[in-house]
Every structure is written in structure tokens, then in C-alpha cells.
């Protein structure tokens, strides 16, 4: 395992109105870590990922990515897979290939053609997540497992150094679970740091290099002690 720090969180606190979600969270993720984030519903696991991705503003504390303070320019290091149920499917028809490539463009570059390098990156992401055959399908016609795999392909398209996943296996068929698991294992072996939310003790025990348990505060747990905990 590398000593390079992928993610550093220091004294992070967050509240919704008067509700305190978590207080003074501090932890490090090193390059090549595969960390499972666990905790009860409402403990703030998804909120934590949204803070790292800048979907929510930091209220107190600091977040650093690869030695740099969290900012717009640091988002290039992150790939993010939200819960599939939170994905807002457009009302107008959009093909899976267009959805995939949308992570590469902005309003300023909307009309430009894709480069050979971008097409190669897209092919690699589709191959790795077994979604190549979905390219010409409409996004609205995909199954839950297909959507989740396409979300993963989109998240890894730009070769992120840190991959964040919010319960990626929820409500998925066995085949999709196995494909996503194999993809994550390969990415991690290639050096990608992974922070994944899960409620599954079994998955954490079999897969995680470390486990973080969130319940207002944060506790680091040896994955092998999980069977003794009421997670």
C-alpha cells in the first residue's frame, strides 16, 4: 500500500437545520485503499460523499484531495457513483453513449467532436463494466443493474484516482453485482482508491482493506471484527 494520501478529512461537521448529522470527523484514505463506509440509515454516509464531491458546501472542517484543498480543480481526481434511485432520468430520449460522453463535455465544448483518446477511454470503460452492448439503447429502457453499471462506466471514464460509490449493489441482480465487484477489484489493483458505502457485513469482510463506521462520530474497525457488531 502507498503512503500517498488520497483523501484527508479533518474536523468535518455537518448539520441540516438544527439536526446535527456528524461532528468532527477526521480520517485518511491512502492511495490503493479499499474502504467500506458503514453505519445506520441517516448517519450521514451519503452526506459525507456529497461533501467530498462538492455537491454540498462544507460548513466546518477541511477536505483535501491528494494534498490539495477541495476545490473545483480537484474534482478531476474523483469518480462518483450515486445510488441508482437518485439518478434523474431525462424526460427526452437520450442514448447510453450520449449519457456516457456527457461527463467529458461542458457548455463551452458542447458542439465539439470527441477525440480519439476520449473514444478509447469510453471503450475501455464500457468493456470493463460489460456495457458495450448498451451504447445504442435509450437510457430510460435500461434495467436497474444496467443503469448502475453505466453509472460506473461514466464515473471511471476519466480514470479517477479516487472512486466514491453510494450503495452500488442495492436492488441489483446477481450478474450485475458480480460485474461491478470484479470492476472495482481490478481498479483497486491498478491503484485506484475506493470509498464505498455498504450495509453488507459479508461484503466488507471479504473485500475491504479497512472499514469506517459512522454514527455521529467515526470509528475505524478491523473488517474481521464486524460479525461481533450490530451493523
Q: What is the pLDDT of residues 11-41, one digit of tens each?
A: 999 999 889 999 999 999 999 999 999 998 8
In terms of C-beta density within 10 A (0-12 exposed, 13-18 middle, 19 or more buried), how is residue 155 classed?
buried
Q: Name which residue leads in pLDDT, 215 or 109.
A: 215
Query: Distance (Å, rounded) from C-alpha 184 to C-alpha 136?
Result: 25
What is the CA angle 7-2-5, rounded to 5? 20
User: Cell digits for 139?
Assistant: 437510457
Q: How confident is the model at residue 115 (pLDDT cuts 50, 70, 90)?
A: confident
Query: What pTM was computed for the model?
Result: 0.90
Query: Distance (Å, rounded) from C-alpha 77 to C-alpha 97?
Result: 22
At 183-202, the pLDDT tens digits run 999 999 999 999 999 999 88
Q: How confident is the model at residue 91 (pLDDT cuts 50, 70, 90)?
A: low
**Beta carbons within 8 Å of 196's beta carbon, 6+ residues apart:** 34, 35, 36, 37, 164, 165, 168, 184
User: Cell digits for 160?
Assistant: 479517477
- Residues in the chain, how many? 231
Amino acid at each position: 500500500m502507498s503512503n500517498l494520501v488520497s483523501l484527508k478529512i479533518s474536523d468535518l461537521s455537518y448539520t441540516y437545520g438544527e439536526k446535527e448529522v456528524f461532528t468532527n470527523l477526521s480520517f485518511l484514505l491512502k492511495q490503493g485503499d479499499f474502504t467500506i463506509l458503514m453505519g445506520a440509515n441517516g448517519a450521514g454516509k451519503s452526506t459525507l460523499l456529497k461533501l467530498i464531491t462538492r455537491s454540498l458546501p462544507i460548513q466546518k472542517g477541511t477536505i483535501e484531495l491528494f494534498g490539495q484543498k477541495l476545490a473545483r480543480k480537484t474534482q478531476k481526481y474523483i469518480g462518483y457513483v450515486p445510488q441508482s434511485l437518485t439518478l434523474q432520468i431525462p424526460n427526452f430520449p437520450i442514448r447510453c453513449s450520449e449519457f456516457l460522453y456527457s461527463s467529458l463535455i461542458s457548455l463551452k465544448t458542447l458542439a465539439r467532436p470527441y477525440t480519439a483518446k476520449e473514444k478509447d477511454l469510453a471503450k475501455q470503460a464500457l468493456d470493463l463494466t460489460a456495457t458495450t452492448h448498451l451504447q445504442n439503447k435509450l437510457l430510460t429502457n435500461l434495467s436497474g443493474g444496467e443503469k448502475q453499471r453505466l453509472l460506473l462506466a461514466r464515473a471511471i471514464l476519466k480514470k479517477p484516482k479516487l472512486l466514491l460509490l453510494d450503495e452500488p449493489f442495492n436492488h441489483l441482480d446477481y450478474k450485475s453485482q458480480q460485474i461491478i465487484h470484479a470492476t472495482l477489484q481490478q481498479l483497486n489493483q491498478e491503484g485506484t482508491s475506493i470509498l464505498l458505502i455498504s450495509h453488507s457485513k459479508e461484503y466488507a469482510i471479504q473485500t475491504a482493506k479497512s472499514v469506517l463506521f459512522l454514527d455521529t462520530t467515526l470509528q475505524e474497525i478491523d473488517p474481521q471484527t464486524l460479525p461481533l457488531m450490530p451493523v
